[in-house]
Chains A and B, each alone.
Chain A
Amino acid sequence: MDSISLPVESQPSMFHAGGPAAERIAQLGWVFTSVAVAVTVVAVAVLIAALHRRRSGRTQGVGPFEDPRGPLRWIVTGGVILPAIILAVCFVCTLLTQSAIARPPRPVVATIRVTAHRWWWEVRYPGIAGAAEVVTANEIHIPVGEAVQVELVSNDVIHSFWVPELAGKTDVIPGQTNSMWLQADHPGRYLGECAEYCGVQHAHMGFVVVADAPADFASWAAGQRLPAGAPAEPAASAGLDVFRRSSCAACHAIRGTGIAAPAGPDLTHVASRTTLASAMLPNNRGNLAGWVTNAQSLKPGSEMPTIRLNGRDLQALVAYLEALR
């Protein structure tokens, strides 16, 4: 597992804003960070001055017994009035930011339903005007410059949906549907994470948000709506048989083949995705083979079992999966 490098260009810094919500929050963050640093610097400076200031007179014995006015002025000014003013200003900034990002800058163009599972994300784009639904996993495509609504439901425990460069967290809680909106202002790939501890593989529950230019988004969506084509090559065709025979078909669905188990990610277009195992591995031939045969050592405790296949079957299966573009 040494060669893992996630297929995202940027680091998921909350100050590296890729959209309007993260932008506003980052501004608020800078306000609070600056205030925090300033208060710390001043307090430590006063502390150092208090410790080392020159003192006159006797150096032995106990000092004044009754409080002079001085200390009380410190407390009222430094402990009450100054903090109250600073906090009031900060609180107003907070309310302004909160109301600014409550709704997207313009109407949403799509609603995406994301279902959190232990430990992966199911993503559905409802069919519009007779078009088929898009079902994918761990990869959310959005049109750049447009806002989309994300409805979040959980299949099991509490998770939290977080794309640091685009927006803050929204928890995904069984028994309720939380919603939030996403908008990216630049085409690109943004790493997402589950931020709420959700069990043994919480560490490997990432996803990728891909902001596409409008034309790219449209062609991506059109491609995803199609069922899987019949395998063109003999190797891939053998792979489909392996898929049916082995335990794969017990959990996964491939539209167009009649294989429709709901437990794991829909694999109809798995080869079009850039990552495997919830953004844990880049999607390539080697990782695909490794994931199929070795899931429990790559991601111990996940629901994906380690599948025993002979070399020929594995090659055929991977050839088939790689053809699911």
Chain B
Amino acid sequence: MTPSGSTSPAATAVSSQLSRARLAEIWETPADLRGILSSVDHKTIGKRYLVTAFVFFILGGLEAVVMRAQLVHGDMHLLTPEAYNQLFTMHGVTMIFLFASPVLSGFSNYLWPLMIGSRDMAFPRVNALSYWTFLLAGIFLYSSFLVGQAPDGGWFGYAPMTQRAYSPGLNIDFYALGLIYLGISTTVGAVNFIATFFTLRAPGMSLDRVPVILWGTLTVSFLIVFFIPALTVASTFLYLDRNVGTHFFDAANGGHPLLWQHLFWIFGHPWVYIVVLPAMGLASDIIPTFCRRPLAGYTFVALATIATGIVGSGVWLHHMFATGLPPLAMSFFSGASMTIAIPSGVSVAAWLATIWYGRPVFKVPFLFMIGFIILFVIGGVNGVMTAPVPFDWQLTDTYFVVAHLHYVLLGINVFPVFGALYYWMPKMSGRMMSERIGRWVFWLMFAGMNLAFFPMHITGMLGMARRVYTYPSGMGWDAANLVTTVGAVVFAAGVLLFLVDLVRSLRVGPLAGDNPWDAPTLEWSTTSPPPPYNFAVLPTVRSRYPLWEDRIPEGARSIVGRGPVLDDGRETIGTSPLDADPVAVLHMPPDSSWPLLLALALTVVFYALLAVSWLWTGVGALLVFICLVGWLTPSRPSRGAGED
């Protein structure tokens, strides 16, 4: 972005086909191979994120179904213990790192510029880098299956079990390096969101007028910037312990296994909020549309989002209550963990009030929101049950915690995500999905989810530990496990039906039009699907719900469809951080292959590290350097060329 304040945005009355054609010419990515590989359009990147995350969701789901087959009753021999341990580890790694977070990045990437009336993210090429590194890090992790040595230490990878002495294969090297690599993707993505939030909101979109998803993603972007380093450091220590001979986690040589746990959970607990806060934001933006009224307590919800992020950064020790910590420290973290229930309570109360004072319209996206609220409450209260230290000593590492975390991750991530897919798919594809099939999808997923995970509360309380590849029959666990497996199959059927509906709607779904739900936010003011330049003219915002301003006096309304065109190259408006006063016209960079090339060079580095080949690591590092030089070399000043 290069601010060029001298170009004053001339307010021009628009609509001429001419300027649309000109904008299309400036912004369109050619449909050839080079275009596909070099596109920096946030909509393309967002959709790629969604599709890729969804592929990983299917893979992680298949892993779960195979595990549930093994656990359908006691003493089964479908899987070897090694296979089971690889599957449960990769299920966790996949769902947490390759689905739950990236799918939200996908929505944020796709929606943010459209919601804030901009033409792209602040750093479009960094955005492309973020996607390519996510894709390649995911492939890196999954390539471990090709050599039969997928990570098998659990997604939490506790040392010293992950040390070379106890895990001699490549399994844990894939894990440690994969997490470091993925951290690059997440971090550059987060930096991009933060910069976009504070520079690209439409004129007039002051802090109290941004859609709630922005608060969610902004909060988690800060969490990512602060806490991914803990994971990267931990994974680097692990790699060094395994391959270079350091002793960070080796008690026999002055290291300590709990160092890993602290570093991992300092990252790991905020990560829980990283995968739910943006999804809660999606819900806060969808619920008002179907209640036909604004969100109740917007300010409270925004502040609750930030508060959850802050308090959630100080609760990591509750994963370690059984490790022999001082009682005072445990009480502090126990209290902090319970405190999180308050911002969550605020959000739930706000959604309930919105529904109560609204006029609900029971469309499929709203069904998912209702399911989400119920699951959120259950996942909240069963989380509070694990907060008191003594009761946690009983519950931790049992199936009760498996129940809790799935109510949280499915309830507060997957349900809003499916609701959001039904809600925004018409915008992305231009076609509606089926209401009739959608209801089936919802009920299958909701029933399957509760059938699968509610009985786990019971199995946990009856003493069934987690992460066991089999269990003895006759302990009172058989019936609940059978029901759980049936539930998993029902849930999977719902997901399958969703895929059927998706394919059907992309081919023959009825055309959506610009705003099929009569929704209030800016993305619904442009065409479905949006043009490459998003908005022919850039809007000016005067309220939280620019498309719902019937009751506002004419002069105080948002201006949508009239305004600056900005077609002197790839341009968008830069605004001030708080009040979003227009301060600059920003030149956005053209499509570029450097992000992909840089990601490929990084992949060389990580495979070289996996092979512990310092020569090839050096070669890879040199390639990375070359790509960075290429990226940063200014292109010849031509129309629309600018730098990130």
Contacts and interface: CB of A to CB of B under 8 A. Distances in A.
B164 interface: no
Given A1-B75, A51-B370, A199-B166, A80 B345 contact: yes
A37 B345 CA distance: 15
A61 B548 CA distance: 9
Interface residues of A, number: 92
Interface in A42-95: 43-44, 46-47, 49-51, 53, 55, 59, 61-65, 67-68, 70-72, 74-75, 77-80, 82-84, 87, 90-91, 93-95
B341 A87 contact: yes
Given A13-B461, A61-B292, A36 B382 contact: yes
B292 A171 contact: no
A229 to B, nearest CB: 34
A203 B62 CA distance: 22
Given A51-B370, A87-B342, A169-B397, A6 B475 contact: yes
B561 interface: no
A111 interface: no
B257 A174 contact: yes
B342 A80 contact: yes
A118 B81 CA distance: 14
Given A43-B352, A197-B158, A25 B381 contact: no
Contacts of B291: 63
Interface string A12-44: 111100000010110011001101110110011
Contact of B257 (A11, A98, A162, A173): A173
A168 to B, nearest CB: 2
B85 A200 contact: yes
A61 to B, nearest CB: 7
A173 B390 CA distance: 19
Contacts of A37: 381
A195 B395 CA distance: 10
Interface stretch (B123-131, B354-362, B414-422, B491-499): B354-362
Contacts of B148: none
A188 to B, nearest CB: 15
B560 interface: no
Contacts of A1: 75, 77
B390 A168 contact: yes
A79 B258 contact: no
A174 B377 CA distance: 38
Given A61-B550, A78-B349, A87-B341, A169 B393 contact: yes
A164 interface: yes
Contact of A28 (B330, B352, B382, B388): B388
Contacts of B255: 175
A14 B394 CA distance: 7
A94 B474 contact: no
A102 B327 CA distance: 9
A15 B356 CA distance: 39
A198 interface: yes
Interface of B: 75, 77, 80-82, 85, 153-154, 158, 160-161, 166, 251-252, 255-258, 291-294, 296-298, 300, 304, 322-324, 327, 330-331, 334-335, 338-339, 341-342, 345-350, 352-360, 370, 373-374, 377-378, 381-382, 384-385, 387-398, 461-463, 465-476, 518, 520, 543, 545, 548, 550-552
27 contacts: A2-B75, A14-B461, A32-B385, A36-B381, A36-B385, A39-B381, A40-B377, A44-B377, A47-B355, A49-B356, A59-B359, A64-B293, A65-B294, A71-B297, A71-B354, A75-B346, A78-B349, A79-B345, A83-B345, A87-B384, A93-B388, A94-B387, A98-B331, A167-B393, A175-B256, A193-B463, A202-B467
Given A65-B548, A199-B161, 13 more contacts: A44-B377, A50-B355, A63-B357, A65-B552, A79-B304, A80-B342, A84-B342, A90-B384, A93-B388, A168-B322, A176-B251, A194-B465, A195-B465
Interface of A: 1-2, 4-6, 11-15, 22, 24-25, 28-29, 32-33, 35-37, 39-40, 43-44, 46-47, 49-51, 53, 55, 59, 61-65, 67-68, 70-72, 74-75, 77-80, 82-84, 87, 90-91, 93-95, 97-98, 101-102, 118, 156-158, 160, 162, 164, 167-171, 173-176, 178, 191, 193-203, 300-301
